[in-house]
Amino acid sequence: MYYSDEAGDELKFDIEMRLFFLAIFSIALPTVYSVGVNEDFTWTRISYVWPNDRGNRVSRQSKGSTNGVNGERENQVENLDTSNSAPPSIDYQYVNNIPMGANVWKNKLFITVPRRRLGVPSTLNYIRLDSSQKHNVPLIPYPNWNTNLYPDTSGRNENFCSVYRVGIDPCDRLWFVDTGTIEIPGNRTQVIPTTLIIMNLQTDRVIQRYVIPQDQLRTTTTLASVTIDVTKDTCDNAFAYLPDLGGYGLIVYSLKENRSWRVTHNYFYLESTSGEFQIAGHNFQWNDGVFSVELTDTQPDGYRDMFFHSMAGTHMYKVSTRILRNETLATRSYHETDFKEVGDRGPRSQTSSADLYKPTGTLFLGLVNQNALGCWNIKQPLSTISIVQKDDQKMIYPSDVKIVEDKVYLLTNTMPEFLYGRLNYDQVNFRVWSNRVDDAINGTRC
């Protein structure tokens, strides 16, 4: 092809500029990483905002009015004491307090502390997201001290005993399972029935208590999370999914019918070759089965897909809620092709909690064996899982992952050191992280 001298000069310049920008891009590309998540709150040890009446086991805050912002009781903080020492009437042993769950509603960041030992004064708590204190901020019992005290001396057996994680739905309701268990090593004690509890976050009141039928539980049952299937337009027809990580099953609860049923499937079990963990210098075996479940947006058939996984496992599975919400279909002994294997995430991809950002199909995973937060776009092959952020000192044991609006929240709690070693309470052990979803995954394949 023939070019004039002018055209040739222009072509030469164009080629040179393309090569220049290509070289710049090639240099910059390896430096593009995920933005990740930011530390919002940190704790060396968990403490509480104690009842102001330090000589009385019953806090005066329960008598407060309900005229505060977002239904909060005006004197909930005014009648509390911010000193570091607990009243003599409250059993508090900071070495036995480890946070397991985090979730957000408006200005409340909920923090749960299950009673895995004695000396846990309150299991369901919150702090304010806009708190100026970001380190060692004391937890505020929710909805008040009276409801969280143990032993329960009220005679009603309605106090909260032990809560692992909470779900929040678009109808401004808080859902959680009270395991009813004091988990002292070697002396696990069931003090109240295992109960699903629903609270109105606008009024801070319990609106539903549902005792899980005994025939749906197993001696090894552990209901440590809850996922709610509901929209703003179907508040009265909500379903809750309760994975039983110790009993290898799934309990489905219908709010409209106020009843539940247990679903069984081999995919809920641990995977025998994936129970080895190496975290924080400790080598151990865990046998946790189905750990958390995540829901997509409503599909064309009017139902959602539910993704799920075992903690002691590396595979991902899914099933339609069309099956789960129908007791007859859900409880069949043989499910044919109802449950589908999505694939294997790969070595050391054992996952605790996970949650799905529905608008884009971005699933965030707490990769416990890597001290990392991972992500995967469910529209892509499972091989495209990426690391959002990894830190072998600061992100030991990602215990809870939650999506709230357009943000991802992560709680890390150093639990293997708590169980198999000894935490250093002069350094940060517990952290809550967050970021906007789009920013967190910037630079990943998600």
pLDDT digits (tens, 9 = 90+) for 258-302: 999 999 999 999 999 999 999 999 999 999 999 999 999 999 999
Per cent of the chain over pLDDT 70 is 85
Rounded to whole angstroms, the Cα distance separating 393 from 169 reads: 33
Rounded to whole angstroms, the Cα distance separating 165 from 112 reads: 6
Rounded to whole angstroms, the Cα distance separating 402 from 356 reads: 8
- Let me know the angle formed at the C-alpha of 303 by 299 and 306, rounded to the nearest 5 degrees: 90
Res 112 pLDDT > 60: yes
Closest CA to 100 of 163, 154, 50, 53: 163
Q: Which of 32-46, 303-317, 330-344, 375-389 has the lowest mean pLDDT?
A: 32-46
Tell me the pTM.
0.87
- Let me know the angle formed at the C-alpha of 295 by 278 and 346, rounded to the nearest 5 degrees: 30
Give the model confidence (pLDDT) of 3-45 as tens digits.
Answer: 333 333 433 444 444 444 444 333 333 333 568 999 999 999 9
pLDDT at 309: 98
* Backbone φ, ψ for residue 434 (5° rounding): -160, 165
Chain mean pLDDT for the chain: 88
Report, at the CATH architecture level, how domain 32-440 is classified: 6 Propeller (2.120)
> Which secondary-structure segment (H or E) carries 147?
helix 145-148
Rounded to whole angstroms, the Cα distance separating 331 from 249 reads: 11
> Which residues touch 394 (CB under 8 Å, ≥6 apart)?
39, 412, 428, 431
> Which residues touch 20 (CB under 8 Å, ≥6 apart)?
none
Is 40 in a helix, a strand, or coil? strand
Is the sign of the CA dihedral 170, 207, 294, 178 positive or negative? positive
pLDDT at 2: 32
Phi-psi region of 253 (alpha: psi -120 to 50; beta: other; left: phi over 0): beta
Give the model confidence (pLDDT) of 141-159 as tens digits.
Answer: 999 999 999 999 888 889 9
pLDDT at 155: 86
Give the model confidence (pLDDT) of 311-327 as tens digits.
Answer: 999 999 999 999 999 99
Q: Tell me the mean pLDDT in the region 191-199.
A: 97
Is 336 in a helix, a strand, or coil? coil
Rounded to whole angstroms, the Cα distance separating 435 from 427 reads: 24
**Residue 326 CB coordination number (10 Å):** 14
pLDDT at 63: 33
- The CA–CA distances, whole Å, from 152 to 121, 143, 192, 218 equal 11, 15, 10, 25
Strand partners, 185: none
> Exposure of 57 by Cβ count < 10 A (0-12 exposed, 13-18 middle, 19+ buried)?
middle
Rounded to whole angstroms, the Cα distance separating 275 from 121 reads: 33
- What is the chain's length? 446
Give the model confidence (pLDDT) of 168-189 as tens digits.
Answer: 999 999 999 999 999 998 899 9
CB 389 within 8 A of CB 365: no
Domain positions in the chain: 32-440
pLDDT at 64: 34
Res 48 pLDDT > 90: yes
Rounded to whole angstroms, the Cα distance separating 140 from 57 reads: 16
Q: Tell me the mean pLDDT in the region 119-123.
A: 98
Rounded to whole angstroms, the Cα distance separating 52 from 46 reads: 18
Rounded to whole angstroms, the Cα distance separating 142 from 197 reads: 13
Res 357 pLDDT > 60: yes
Q: What is the chain's Cα-based Rg? A: 24
Question: E strands, 304-396, where?
Answer: 305-310, 315-320, 340-344, 351-357, 362-367, 372-377, 386-390
Q: What confidence tier does 85 reach under pLDDT thresholds 50, 70, 90?
A: confident
CB 270 within 8 A of CB 285: no
- Do the bridges between strand 124-128 and strand 173-178 make them parallel or antiparallel, or are there none, so unpaired? unpaired
Give the model confidence (pLDDT) of 407-425 as tens digits.
Answer: 999 999 999 999 999 999 9
Q: Which of 114-123, 147-156, 330-339, 341-350 has the lowest mean pLDDT?
A: 147-156
Rounded to whole angstroms, the Cα distance separating 367 from 350 reads: 6
Q: Tell me the mean pLDDT in the region 53-68.
A: 37
Q: Which of 85-89, 217-221, 237-241, 379-383 has the lowest mean pLDDT?
A: 85-89
Two tokens at 332? 């069949």
